[in-house]
């Protein structure tokens, strides 16, 4: 990671993660989604960071709930999906393929529909990191609320296309429950079995399993490993009633 960028992850609500990215050089700090104002403010305070931006991935309440309160408190700028009228306080609408600057660093917007019709993720090459919202979870993917299996299949492929070492910051800690399901799909997958043991240790210590990496998800995530949209749809349906 470039020395001027730092990422903070901290628990919010019951199973969300709060995420901040800070650029020492410019002093900019972005919150990726706003699950819980008090937890976000506390983390900023602890680190001496001042919030200047919000980057929203999608409109669900556990991702935009703190937008207006934080905007009012800090006069910050809110970036989110351009076609979305459900993002409170949206200042800058962006679409897949767009780039914007964060200090001297480039942020790439990738369109990842499936969980919602307009979900986007934020890739920061200089940090070798992507903020994937509710599109991908460790060993899992988001529920298909507004999109199709084809949409999510394309979104998984877009994430798999990022460099292997890219760290993926998911918005929820669902790893152990995803693991139980994934082991029913690929019981013989040694990388999966070994990973699950490590994840259990992390969780027993109260530590996050996030971030994961593109390389790891290619080896253990049944949704990313699905050979077709049809197969992804089957697995997703099975998971919904698991
Ligand atoms: Zn969501
Ligand atoms: Fe969520």
Q: What pLDDT shows up at residue 85?
A: 87
Q: What pLDDT shows up at residue 107?
A: 98
Please tell me the distance from the alpha carbon of residue 180 to that of residue 187, in angstroms, as a whole number: 10
Q: What pLDDT shows up at residue 83?
A: 82
Active-site residue identified among 23, 33, 62, 118? 62
Active-site residue identified among 22, 23, 59, 60? 60
Q: What pLDDT shows up at residue 227?
A: 97
Provide the residue ranges of all domains of the chain, joining segments of one domain with +: 2-240
Q: What pLDDT shows up at residue 212?
A: 98
Q: What pLDDT shows up at residue 114?
A: 98
Residue 62 is a catalytic residue: yes
Instruction: Give me the architecture of the 2-240 domain, per CATH.
Output: 4-Layer Sandwich (3.60)
11 Cα: distance to centroid of ligand 2 (angstroms): 13
Q: What pLDDT shows up at residue 120?
A: 98
60 Cα: distance to centroid of ligand 2 (angstroms): 6
Q: What pLDDT shows up at residue 143?
A: 98
Q: What pLDDT shows up at residue 92?
A: 97
Q: What pLDDT shows up at residue 24?
A: 96
Residues of the chain with pLDDT under 50: 2
Please tell me the distance from the alpha carbon of residue 140 to that of residue 39, in angstroms, as a whole number: 25
Q: What pLDDT shows up at residue 119?
A: 98
Residue 59 is a catalytic residue: no
Residue 115 is a catalytic residue: yes
pTM beyond 0.85: the answer is yes
Strands (E), the chain: 5-12, 16-23, 29-32, 53-55, 77-81, 92-94, 99-102, 105-111, 120-124, 129-133, 136-137, 140-141, 167-170, 212-213
Q: What pLDDT shows up at residue 84?
A: 75
Residues forming a β-bridge with 32: 19, 55
């Amino acid at each position: 990671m470039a020395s001027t960028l730092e990422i903070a992850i901290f628990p919010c609500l019951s199973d969300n993660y709060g995420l901040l990215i800070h650029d020492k050089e410019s002093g900019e700090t972005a919150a990726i989604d706003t699950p819980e104002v008090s937890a976000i403010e506390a983390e900023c305070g602890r680190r001496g960071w001042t919030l200047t931006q919000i980057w929203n991935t999608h409109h669900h309440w556990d991702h935009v709930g703190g937008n207006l309160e934080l905007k009012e408190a800090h006069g910050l700028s809110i970036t989110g999906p351009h076609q979305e009228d459900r993002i409170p306080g949206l200042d800058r609408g962006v679409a897949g393929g767009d780039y914007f600057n964060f200090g001297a660093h480039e942020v790439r917007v990738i369109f990842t529909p499936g969980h919602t019709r307009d979900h986007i993720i934020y890739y920061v090459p200089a940090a070798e990191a992507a903020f994937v919202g509710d599109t991908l979870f460790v060993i899992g993917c988001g529920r298909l609320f507004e999109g199709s299996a084809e949409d999510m299949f394309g979104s998984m492929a877009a994430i798999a296309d990022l460099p292997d070492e890219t760290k993926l910051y998911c918005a929820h800690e669902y790893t152990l429950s995803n693991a139980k399901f994934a082991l029913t799909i690929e019981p013989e997958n040694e990388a999966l079995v070994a990973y699950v043991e490590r994840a259990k240790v992390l969780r027993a210590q109260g530590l996050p399993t996030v971030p994961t990496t593109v390389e790891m998800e290619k080896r253990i995530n049944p949704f990313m490993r699905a050979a077709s949209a049809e197969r992804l749809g089957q697995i997703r349906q099975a998971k919904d009633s698991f």
